[in-house]
Chain A
């Protein structure tokens, strides 16, 4: 600890900080622009000036930039000194020479950091009479709007985009007062994290284009704490609603998970909530004409009571994209032995294996914060930028860990970003990537290897064997693999916090076993060795834990299909699941033919809903509360952002009503009841109720408002229906209210509905909600880990090493290629994401292309498990011979990969 004196009062601060962060986290307001808690200091904007004094006797002092000055023990500064206040106001005056004076009609107004800082410095009168400089804006694609005239040249955008996120197509051009931030020409910003520019930019140069299409002021948005549903990482988000429409997603800081950033899929994928494909009323199939027709709630429940009569053989098909509560309600309705997790046999097998490895083995699974701090990483079989994007962003930071030691040796403070990057240059810590195909992170990798899933597993086992000779040896290992495996093993062994990443992508259990064997071999000497699995969906782990997490494989979708086939099922309830994405089309078709009654609870009209007898409209993540378990095993609560119109309600409420209608009543009035029932029933979820205070929680007798205190139009928002102000909807499930009234102070971390603090209207207010840069939110970061490793006990390695891959003569092994935009079920329904989704294709290796006499873009005919697809061919030189890449895109779903397929030129 160091003692610093601010305006002659002593304060204790942590060592190694700069004055700006020390002051901000002590609660002082110092305006700043170029400093960012994740990207640290460069000293460009000169806004955060304070006066520093040599000692007590020094009365003159000198102006220093607080972001570039260490908060060293004994430092004496003044924030309120008149000279430095004048200077800070002048910085705003300079910026305002060219900044548009149109705050009232600017779409950043009300959440603009520049606006806040202007008010903070006290600059208000314009003294210049000269013409402003102007810029031409660029069209940057469907995500971001560009308005360069607003730019104040803080350089944060390029520092985030290029330095932090590894982007290449945004940069700074020109010089003096004609500095321009953009692309070298108009075009889509390519980086997967471009949306963060919305929050990184201190003013409105980069704004959310999807928000602009249904624009609402920040203060008019009703917001709630939420969790992203578009991959397995569970990034924390803040969805905002107005007039029953979801308007945008902002990042919700969680020090352990997403920190300050989101990926573009998570930020712009929300529009499925507003989709025309939404199911908004209960539907019952008309027996006469076969059409699904709207029905009242009573009629539907009456109908359900007929189907789900006492003694009826009902099965439930759960979903990895539905909440724990919804899955639990279904499981309660049908009974544990008739509850099926609703994923394919292969996925079930892999999920179970992953959970077993993480719970029974000695290796811990890291949070994203831990990932960013790893100093050697080996990715086995994942294309993380496309399957778990923010994990990729964390890895981009992890490769800086080792080179940062050079910076420390030179006594350069770690927050001096430009100096640190200068020392590091292009040095990177060890990152090794073995995948079926080349991935975007290859550009920062020390070594890469591409092979079939079996060959990846063999490389993994070879690494494990190099680490511990008692791990199984790889038979007939190629000469080229031995040195590679050795160098990977050496780097992992010498690292302080080595990390192995694997996941579901390859569809190979052997790959997971190999990853586990490596990390277990590391764990013998290094308790910090960590293992992270990339999961397919937002609640894959939660569902896996619910279905026992065991390897017995008794409960996959095929088993459900078999039961139906054998005529042992009267009715099936499908929860938030499109079976056509899970299994081969024929099997799904057969299921619907054979099953007498199919009840679907979902929010989007998909192929499964189209075949159902009864369709119940479920709330999306924005319209319901619930818990999701991310790939780390962290259970996180999301809260309803708004009350939808129509008959939509939470899936668990539909299931509760169905239970009541079928005379199996449960006393579930609110979410808390479901949570306590779940904790009683399944000990693994014991702590889930503790993620957040219960619905009865009050501060000073008040709930926490979802609407900001400046929310406008409260009394008139429904005036077209009735001029009398309506009572706000009740929320019996949480301590949040659908109102602007309630506790105005800082809520507990799980109830942060927005980042706002007096004087801080922009997202920069986040700094008021945690105690140090990158540190936990006040209280603690929300979420509870449900899985911890077993530390004691013998480690027994997996023994089965697969045979080397043999290319076949007339078939190619199809492996899945994931796309950040397009491979996830829900986000593709957002127009902005759809615009970025590639068209289906087949990627083949150069050798195979030569053999099959296929050129780039030639039309191919592919036969997989009896079905024929016509796709354009793309030559991907990174693919190994005999392996082809089939993208996970609409039109190609329901193919269990990897699978052998025949490929030929279109006749």
Chain B
């Protein structure tokens, strides 16, 4: 089984130096790409069926084809690597950033060349300090070896690439909020249209791609489209880094063919449930996806199949719910996170999510009231796609709406006078103390 993304990583988790990377075939894609016409690279990516690994699964080649090309387009054009990996339960990009930063740089250089980009940024999550160090070192090495800067490898093509470490909020991972953050503005999303390809960073044409997406690019170029498509079990090309956390025997992340089933992931790669724990449900693609349950375990993990099953593949990083963990508490934990990470721009997200979190907390404390579950259901519907400014709130209510569907009795148990899932009854009014953070002006 080929593992192009992670196969070359060292067992001791030290990053590959530029030299080591070149020895295992690294940067060949840059040499090859510079001899290709940029539209041919875009076509190759289009044909490879590579879909964006950030969560939405939008075909990368199609996204690229919206980039205005030619001599009369506004300059500079930008390419941005979205490395603001902050989805709860997700750590696949970290693996790539820490283990082999040169692979990302190579992917970015090839992509930037294909898109005729002048300046590229890596927008990195604030907490990824080790990755930041390693990327910095890799960028310096790449500049020294003429993979970056003026006239890359004596070609006509020049590219500046910089690392930007985010000030740190979940919303910065939303591509337009990322652009605002990178500009030094409040990290609030922008309305689309106009799409970043038309008016992105500083109002100039911009492509934002996820780390894992960009890491795929060199392999498509060096080894070809057919080889790449062959890696996958399904029509989406390539491999995928899947991850799993929860009460499983071996939580972790593994590069596997696209379309590996959840069952295989759980039983083979994660080693099955821990002793004494039973499988109850799973968030297949990170915290902002719908729960799936036992009956769905045979679903292949690719974008369309998971969608058909009623959830989203998202980042492919799964969180397993066991029978001893209260789904109300899990939902509360997630909704509190999303409520805190709301940027505060649009009303439904800013006000709706804290309300949801407060109700969940009351239910968790056994202080829920009749009608609470119905309010939660209504809120999940009202915070759906299109009603809010960006995808944060619709994603945030996905685990809740499906939890209400599959584990409704756990919620109803928390309505006044009844006991919660852990069997204890809370007497305190801790929901009254519910605050997300302290108001700086208070």
A: which residues have CB within 8 A of B?
42-47, 49, 62-64, 68, 86-87, 90-91, 94-95, 97-98, 127-131, 133, 135-136, 152-153, 155, 172-180, 182, 406, 410, 412, 416, 418-419, 422-425
Contacts and interface: CB of A to CB of B under 8 A. Distances in A.
B348 interface: yes
B345 A44 contact: yes
Given A46-B347, A129-B369, A419-B191, A176 B442 contact: no
6 contacts: A44-B389, A64-B386, A94-B347, A176-B436, A182-B441, A423-B194
Interface in B323-359: 339-348, 350-355, 358
Contacts of A97: 351, 354-355
A94 B203 contact: no
Contact of B436 (A95, A152, A177, A406): A177
B348 A46 contact: yes
Given A136-B442, A175-B343, 18 more contacts: A44-B389, A86-B382, A94-B348, A94-B351, A94-B355, A97-B355, A128-B355, A130-B355, A133-B439, A135-B441, A135-B442, A153-B347, A174-B344, A174-B440, A176-B354, A418-B190, A419-B191, A419-B199
Contacts of B350: 94, 153, 176-177, 179
Nearest to A184: B441
Contacts of A130: 355, 358, 431-432, 434
A62 B386 CA distance: 8
Contacts of B140: none
Contact of A410 (B190, B199, B347): B199
A425 B202 CA distance: 7
Contact of B190 (A87, A91, A422): A422
Listed from nearest, the 5 A-B pairs whose CB atoms lie closest are A94-B351, A179-B344, A423-B203, A176-B342, A130-B358
Nearest to A416: B191
Contacts of A86: 382
A504 B202 CA distance: 41
A412 B199 contact: yes
Contacts of B343: 175-176
Contacts of A91: 347-348
A180 B440 contact: yes
Contacts of B341: 176
B198 interface: yes
B232 interface: no
A410 B339 contact: no
Nearest to A52: B386
A610 B186 CA distance: 58
Contacts of A422: 190, 199, 202-203
A131 B436 CA distance: 13
Interface in B356-414: 358, 369, 371, 375, 378, 382, 386-389
A176 B340 contact: yes
Contacts of B442: 135-136
Interface of B: 74, 169, 186, 190-191, 193-194, 198-199, 202-203, 339-348, 350-355, 358, 369, 371, 375, 378, 382, 386-389, 431-432, 434, 436-437, 439-442
A87 B190 CA distance: 22
A180 B441 contact: yes
B344 A175 contact: yes
A412 B441 CA distance: 37
A152 B345 CA distance: 11
Contact of A173 (B352, B354, B434, B441): B441
Nearest to A426: B202
A387 B286 CA distance: 60
- From A131, A136, A406, name the one whose CB has the most chain B CB atoms within 10 angstroms: A131
A86 B348 CA distance: 13
Contact of A423 (B169, B199, B353, B369): B199
A175 B340 CA distance: 8
B346 A44 contact: yes
Contacts of B378: 90
A424 B194 CA distance: 13
Nearest to A185: B441
A98 B351 contact: yes
- From A42, A64, A130, name the one whose CB has the most chain B CB atoms within 10 angstroms: A130
A401 to B, nearest CB: 17
Contacts of A135: 439, 441-442
A45 B199 contact: no
Contacts of A179: 344, 350
- From B202, B341, B441, B442, name the one whose CB has the most chain A CB atoms within 10 angstroms: B441
Contacts of B199: 410, 412, 419, 422-423
Contacts of B358: 128, 130
Contacts of B74: 406
A128 to B, nearest CB: 6
Contacts of A418: 190-191
Contact of A176 (B186, B203, B344, B441): B344
Nearest to B432: A131
Contacts of B340: 176
A178 B439 contact: yes
Contacts of B434: 130-131
A424 B203 CA distance: 7
Nearest to A91: B347
Contacts of A425: 202-203
B191 A178 contact: no
A800 to B, nearest CB: 48
A43 B188 CA distance: 12
Nearest to B431: A130
B194 A410 contact: yes
Nearest to A182: B441
A64 B387 CA distance: 7
A136 B438 CA distance: 12
A568 B186 CA distance: 72
A153 B186 CA distance: 15
Contacts of B382: 86-87, 90
B357 to A, nearest CB: 10
A424 B193 CA distance: 16
A173 B440 CA distance: 8
A67 to B, nearest CB: 10
Contacts of B342: 175-177
A155 to B, nearest CB: 7
A735 to B, nearest CB: 44
Nearest to B348: A46
B338 to A, nearest CB: 9
A126 to B, nearest CB: 12
A45 B346 contact: yes
A43 B348 CA distance: 12
Contacts of A95: 347, 351
